[in-house]
Structure 1
């Protein structure tokens, strides 16, 4: 029972980062034609609108709508990727790694989270067919399943909205205050293009189900989100500064690699009702 508030803070921080970062989108078939860089796509948009051929320069502001379209396009033909994430929030340091698959009707995820503040044992999270499975301590190795489509599930609306590209676009556009093209940078020996955005988190989350009850006092007045795109226009790195709430860094690599994400065997799965029933029998 003592861990529950920690899990809730962790879930809020993780979902907040994913939601405001616009990292989730429904997948499609990988496109071999769209391999232009992020800045080239923006320049092409500008050329179509003005008829001029202007190169995007470092330090130049980017229209909010163009940046939203850029992030959305990065995931329109997404297939699969590996992911690493570190989060500092509420006095906790959380690290996570896993894989993502955008090719199914609803995105799938397998992720392992670790934190000294939560405990020595890692927490494994699997999401398949809109069902979340969490292997947490004290369950004897079993996974606690949560149907995200089930009415009344507090995590359901947050997770489904964070995986809905239309919701992502709406939230990002509602919260964006400014975007700047920082320029090209070397990231672990690879040239990437960096964009820096300032967001109003309250405005961005206003329409997100399950987040309306989060007190504004818990959120900073502004958030800073930096996004790095590779030469193919794919999101590869994101750093989100959330003020007193903490910060999150995410890396997405190995785009298109084979991933294996499956639900745990039925014998290894339990539900909250099963847990409550067992506790009643023990009493």
Structure 2
């Protein structure tokens, strides 16, 4: 697998963890399908009530996480500029206060696909894995997938809250900044201490990456406290991530047994 794709995958997972505060995906039940539905009603019909007032440096992490848990799911489209190349990633994520119920599926150009279900990470690297999914080991035997596994799965809500509180150096809010997908948003600019953020989240820096002293996030958030856009630059990679379809039904499944291979990507 090329360094370009490794970097793109690592940046994507780091962005999802660090930018959204996703919970850990620990081992849980055997259900490999998750459709968000409460009491027979779709999440769209039971959207979280709008929170009052602009978020502050003290409450923004808690409010954003609470809103995500209430919505339960989201679709995202991410565009990255990696080594002069534009890479687009699309996917869906299911968030839950129960770590065992957190799920994610995302795809990139070139047949690269990642799924996270019930604490297991599956990687389809196209030709590298014969078009099948490699189930990442949890014993650290593959450094590349261990990096991705760590990026996705080693944070929990308590660690996220402490990470942001510890790493936050500056916080600014600009009301009525932009209307995104019909939603008026407030732009929050967060300056975070890179080293403290990564250490708190147990994220290892990709080899050779210059992550800089600080990371600046521009988060565009609706009055319901749900992110609509995140703009950031991490390790020299410019990234724009758009979020939509909050609370819509999402089904994410583990690959069937005949689509799983022992071929190790990046070995």
TM > 0.5 fold call:
yes
Which residue of structure 2 aligns with residue 50 of structure 1? none
1:33-92 deviations in Å (ceiling 9; x for gaps): 95124x6264xxxxxxxxxxxxxxxxxxx4x32222333323232311111111123333
Relative to structure 1, the CA distance from residue 34 to residue 125 in structure 2 (aligned partners, 3 Å threshold; closer, same or farther) is closer
Once structures 1 and 2 are overlaid, which stretch shifts more, 86-95 or 254-263? 86-95
TM-score, normalised relative to structure 1: 0.74
TM-score, normalised relative to structure 2: 0.78
Which residue of structure 2 aligns with residue 122 of structure 1? 111
C-alpha displacement of 1:165? 2.0
Which residue of structure 2 aligns with residue 220 of structure 1? 212
C-alpha displacement of 1:274? 11
Q: Distance in 1 between matches of 2:242 and 2:265?
A: 37
Which residue of structure 2 aligns with residue 106 of structure 1? 101
**Larger of the two Rg values belongs to structure:** 1
2:24 and 2:154 in contact (8 A); partners too: no
Work out which of the residue numbers 229, 237, 240 in structure 2 matches 1:237: 229
Which residue of structure 2 aligns with residue 40 of structure 1? 53
Aligned-pair RMSD on alpha carbons? 3.1
User: Which residues in structure 2 correspond to 1:23-62 (within 5 Å)?
Assistant: 23-25=21-23, 34-37=48-51, 40=53, 42=55, 62=56
Which residue of structure 1 aligns with residue 124 of structure 2? 135
Relative to structure 1, the CA distance from residue 6 to residue 150 in structure 2 (aligned partners, 3 Å threshold; closer, same or farther) is same
1:231-260 deviations in Å (ceiling 9; x for gaps): 322122111133x61221112211121112
2:7 and 2:206 in contact (8 A); partners too: no
Relative to structure 1, the CA distance from residue 125 to residue 174 in structure 2 (aligned partners, 3 Å threshold; closer, same or farther) is same
C-alpha displacement of 1:26? 6.8
Q: Distance in 1 between matches of 2:179 and 2:232?
A: 19
Work out which of the residue numbers 66, 73, 83 in structure 1 matches 2:76: 83
Which residue of structure 2 aligns with residue 270 of structure 1? 261
Once structures 1 and 2 are overlaid, which stretch shifts more, 138-147 or 21-30? 21-30
Which residue of structure 1 aligns with residue 165 of structure 2? 173
Relative to structure 1, the CA distance from residue 144 to residue 41 in structure 2 (aligned partners, 3 Å threshold; closer, same or farther) is same
1:35 and 1:233 in contact (8 A); partners too: no
1:164-215 deviations in Å (ceiling 9; x for gaps): 2222222222221111111112224331222111112122112333516756
Higher relative CO (Cα under 8 Å, sequence separation at least 6) belongs to 2
Which residue of structure 2 aligns with residue 8 of structure 1? 6
1:74 and 1:235 in contact (8 A); partners too: no
